[in-house]
Structure 1
Amino acid sequence: MTCNDSFPMLVSSEDAASLAAVVTGSVLLPGDSGYDDERAVFNLNHELMPAVIVVVENAADVQAAIAFAAARRRPVLVKATGHQMVGTADDAVMIATRRMNDVTIDAVGRTARVGAGAVWGEVVAAAAKDGLAPLNGSNPTVGVCGYTLGGGLSPTLGRSHGYAADHVRSLEVVTADGELRQVDAHSEPELFWAMLGGKGNFGVVTALEFDVFPVARLYGGGIYFPGERMADVLRAWTAWHPGTPETMISSFAVLRLPPLPALPEPLRGVFSVSLRFAYNGTAVDGERMIAPLRAVGPAILDTVRDMPYSEVASIHDEPTEPLPYYERGVMLREFPAQAQDRLIELVGPESDTTMWIAELRALGGAWDREPAAGNAVATRGLPYSLLGVEVGPLSQEQRLKESVAALLDGMKPWAGDRRLVNNLAPEEAADAAAVYGPERHARLAAVKRTYDPTNMFRINHNVAPAT
């Protein structure tokens, strides 16, 4: 059977049966019970239509799925939670890793070994039992593996420890040749370097081991001010945060939230601005440190408190159920007064934007320092991450994209070329050279040529093999 844009190559029931005979997990074709559940992703505006889904339970299942794909020259897509998907996966073999969600904490060695399908909420809860904490993301439902391979910008401990990718000790990876490899900085240094920051371009991770840190509590939360006070809050925060220690992480967000019952009552349907904090220190010091920002004006809601690390998801309080949205981000080289004025024009009280969230995270500190074992993370030295998020059905896709573009295009005078892979939109899949910079991209392409010469892993923000 041939393939064109209208008629994807189907997988026959006989071929599916032959694959099912050699895997422990499930093999699902379109129309099978469970197929729609497994292909569903967090963003309800994105749809995957793989030719076959392999719900794997172990590394051997992954090897079998890759061998099946290689024999039929099909691309491979890996999905844990589906927070960031590229393309629709037509003709692809989709490997669903959600069942491989084992988490083992070594309290003495301060490491975690995590299966490919684990989410951050599971790791945070397991580590907290031993007074330890990972470099987790803001949303507990995000998959550990994809987040970490994209760099991992932890809003709780990252400024003092760096990217999550910086603290990976080893990876268990199945490459395009079907080989299961134990990869670290010594065994296969080029593959290790490329995997961490290169996202899913080089193989399927079945497990990873990384450092966890002795942090049992944080002083953190959010202060929400009326949106009309945006200028005052933004200028106060911009002047304040550079003088804070690396143990203090903060961000600024402009919020236009709908009147949803899941939201705290004071924020339902309200235009507000929020300052988020995560301080790895005493509550007394944290309270003293943020006092100048509390003094900016009366707050709609103040949730900043001493908390067990197991409750850090409450700081950003992001949705944990699927919804229809569009998001895209850039990095900023600087944020001078002119940039502050422009941001206020774009999303402030006098703007006509409908954007749900415009978030500016202040970076620096350990995020700028190279780890002992280098990796492909491209955004060191860029002091801010700017993210725009719009929510609405697929029928409004053009409006959602234009809304986010208005923000990011408006901030272009201060934007850097290099970007955080985890904040790219699906249509930016062709921009890998710009995202990584020419030297880093050339090195990634060389590694790709070695480990995935046919570009099997291409349904992503793709690094093509060097020619």
Structure 2
Amino acid sequence: MTVTLDAPYVDSDISFDALRAELTGDLHTPDEPEYDALVSPWNLAVPMRPAAVVAVRTAEDVVAAVRFAGAHGFTAGVQATGHGAERSLAGHVLVLTRGLDEVTAHPEGWARIGSGVKWSSLVPEAARHGLAGVNGSTTDVSIVGYTTGGGVGPLARTYGINADRVRAFEVVTGDGVFRRVTATEYPDLFFALRGGKGAAGIVTAMEFDLVRMPEFYGGAIYFDAEDAAEVIERWRGWADELPELGTTSFAIFQLPPLPEIPPPLAGRMSLAIRFLWTGEPSEGARLLNQLREVAPVILDDARLRPYTEIDSVHADPVDPMPVVDPAILLDAFPAEAVERLLAVAGSGSGSPQVIVEVRHLGGAYAREGAHPSAFSHRAAKFSVLTVAMAMDDAMAAAALAHADQVFTALADWDTGGVWPNFGIPHDAVSARRSYDEQTLARLREVVDTYDPRGVLQAGAYTRA
């Protein structure tokens, strides 16, 4: 198939036949039946329509795709699971990394994975050695995508962000060169890849440190939404006093009345207190009992667990679905913020959000890692995320409008920033929310050095 793109990208029809012949993996264009399934991200509300999708199997495939794109004036995008999908980042040639599926957990305490690997593949491998990764709220996301955006999860206050645990990347930069990147080999790339969300290169493999954790105390306890004000007010002080061995968040849920939803939660608004304790289990139980006594618990799912049950803390959905999920960061969450939040998203508010989540930060999250990174939000004290279904454009618009009401209610404490994983940088506005000016300037220098022709679509925000 030949594809014509508007100037300034190409001046004539370009055939993908030469690239197809060079690949170990597969290439598909929109006229082929495999295309739609391959380009579809986890978030079904975000259409991805590149001129071609390359399902790579080797790092050499990535090199070939990037060089082809550069030679013909195309841009190259990248996708693993598509949880953080952004339509403009597909590029003209979308590199699909799911086939880079190497997984090795070393008993000495580190792992090597391909860029298509989800946490769900590594967690059981690491658990065989009593080890765990500093994973996100769901193991259904790719490890590389999570880490290049910083990597904040339910272990954040104890072990910080996963970007700080990286030993090495193997990456294809926009100039079509394969490089191994460490703190001492290409330190500028090492900085940019940890937080820069793919602007500096397409990662093919990553090596990073694990933590020793065969089990943990935690999960979630649920209350009726009518008790939210009292529970959240107690949670605020409790969370602030929590040792770094604990990480916590709360979420206002509105779950549909479906058979797979636990009956106490189905078809009603509820409040979940999420908790992960890395210390002595009895102490974790004692601490959580301080919240259990505030109001009647309608479902108690917190206990001592093997680390393989880490998904129980946030209980995020796994199946692809159409959602809108904007977020902000706060520098405080006082009693007035609780009152304002519940007025627009609590019981009787008419909120369309399936989830409104507030995560408590600080601890190891707030401390810089051993090496500088492009993650810019250590000073934030809380993260706020809204998630709503977006079955059609009208539903998406209504959900976004309501999310704006939530964020407006909390505007007095809004830092103006957002995690790159929760607000994918793709233009000037999103870039300035994801990075401070100094970090953005440094990212721009790295992209200009290793992708002078602007081949990687993920780096476009540095030039916006």
TM-score, normalised by the number of residues in structure 2: 0.95
Aligned to 1:280: 278
Aligned to 2:118: 119
Matches within 5 A, 1:214-229: 214-229=212-227
Change (3 A) 1:369 1:425: closer
Conserved? CA contact 2:137–2:311, under 8 Å: yes
Conserved? CA contact 1:430–1:461, under 8 Å: no
Q: Secondary structure at the match of 1:267?
A: coil
- CA drift at 1:2: 5.7
Aligned to 2:178: 180
Q: Write the letter of the residue equivalent to 1:415.
A: D
Q: In 2, Cα distance between the equivalents of 1:449 and 1:8? A: 21
- CA drift at 1:350: 3.4
Q: In 1, Cα distance between the equivalents of 2:161 and 2:458? A: 24
Q: In 2, Cα distance between the equivalents of 1:281 and 1:251? A: 18
Q: Write the letter of the residue equivalent to 2:365.
A: W
Deviations 1:27-84 (A, max 9, x none): 1111213111100111111111110111100110000000110011111110100001
Q: Which runs of 5+ in 1 are unaligned?
A: none
Q: 43-52 or 333-342, which moves further after superposition?
A: 333-342
Q: Secondary structure at the match of 1:402?
A: helix
Conserved? CA contact 1:11–1:51, under 8 Å: no
Change (3 A) 1:320 1:366: same
Q: In 1, Cα distance between the equivalents of 2:411 and 2:6? A: 38
Q: Secondary structure at the match of 1:446?
A: helix
Aligned to 1:412: 411
Q: Of residues 193, 196, 211 in structure 1, which corresponds to 2:194?
A: 196
Conserved? CA contact 1:87–1:459, under 8 Å: no
Aligned to 2:462: 463
Q: In 2, Cα distance between the equivalents of 1:11 and 1:138? A: 44
Q: Secondary structure at the match of 1:173?
A: strand
- CA drift at 1:159: 0.9
Change (3 A) 1:327 1:425: farther
Deviations 1:108-157 (A, max 9, x none): 2x1100101000111111111111000111112111111100000021x2
Q: Secondary structure at the match of 1:21?
A: helix
Q: 217-226 or 414-423, which moves further after superposition?
A: 414-423
- CA drift at 1:16: 2.1
Matches within 5 A, 1:201-280: 201-280=199-278
- CA drift at 1:326: 0.2
Deviations 1:371-403 (A, max 9, x none): 111111011011101101111312322112112
Q: Which runs of 5+ in 2 are unaligned?
A: none
Is 1:304 the counterpart of 2:291? The answer is no
Q: In 2, Cα distance between the equivalents of 1:158 and 1:434? A: 21
Q: 179-188 or 389-398, which moves further after superposition?
A: 389-398
Q: 90-99 or 18-27, which moves further after superposition?
A: 90-99
Q: Secondary structure at the match of 2:212?
A: coil
Q: In 1, Cα distance between the equivalents of 2:183 and 2:212? A: 24
Conserved? CA contact 1:432–1:461, under 8 Å: no
Q: In 2, Cα distance between the equivalents of 1:333 and 1:415? A: 7
Q: Secondary structure at the match of 1:100?
A: coil
Matches within 5 A, 1:32-47: 32-47=32-47
Q: In 1, Cα distance between the equivalents of 2:40 and 2:208? A: 29
- CA drift at 1:435: 2.6
Q: Secondary structure at the match of 1:277?
A: strand
Change (3 A) 1:88 1:458: closer
Aligned to 1:53: 53
Conserved? CA contact 1:85–1:426, under 8 Å: no
- CA drift at 1:200: 1.0
Q: In 1, Cα distance between the equivalents of 2:13 and 2:309? A: 45
How many residues are treated as equivalent by the alignment?
460
Percent sequence identity over matched residues?
37
Change (3 A) 1:18 1:253: same
Conserved? CA contact 2:425–2:461, under 8 Å: no
Q: Secondary structure at the match of 1:165?
A: helix
Change (3 A) 1:241 1:90: closer
Aligned to 2:66: 66
Q: Secondary structure at the match of 2:261?
A: coil
Q: In 1, Cα distance between the equivalents of 2:13 and 2:246? A: 52
Q: Secondary structure at the match of 1:408?
A: helix
Q: In 2, Cα distance between the equivalents of 1:262 and 1:197? A: 36
- CA drift at 1:206: 0.2
Deviations 1:287-327 (A, max 9, x none): 11111100011111000010000111111111100011100
Q: 370-379 or 344-353, which moves further after superposition?
A: 344-353
Q: In 2, Cα distance between the equivalents of 1:66 and 1:72? A: 10
Q: Write the letter of the residue equivalent to 1:144.
A: I
Q: Of residues 356, 362, 382 in structure 2, which corresponds to 1:384?
A: 382
Aligned to 1:423: 422
Q: 419-428 or 271-280, which moves further after superposition?
A: 419-428
- CA drift at 1:428: 6.5
Conserved? CA contact 1:429–1:461, under 8 Å: no
Q: Secondary structure at the match of 1:233?
A: helix
Q: Write the letter of the residue equivalent to 1:81.
A: T
Q: Write the letter of the residue equivalent to 1:305.
A: R
Q: Write the letter of the residue equivalent to 1:401.
A: L
Is 1:29 the counterpart of 2:29? The answer is yes
Conserved? CA contact 1:77–1:93, under 8 Å: yes
Q: 391-400 or 29-38, which moves further after superposition?
A: 391-400
Aligned to 1:325: 323
Q: Write the letter of the residue equivalent to 1:45.
A: A
Q: In 1, Cα distance between the equivalents of 2:424 and 2:27? A: 29
Aligned to 1:357: 355
Conserved? CA contact 2:10–2:74, under 8 Å: no
Q: Write the letter of the residue equivalent to 1:276.
A: R
Aligned to 1:137: 136
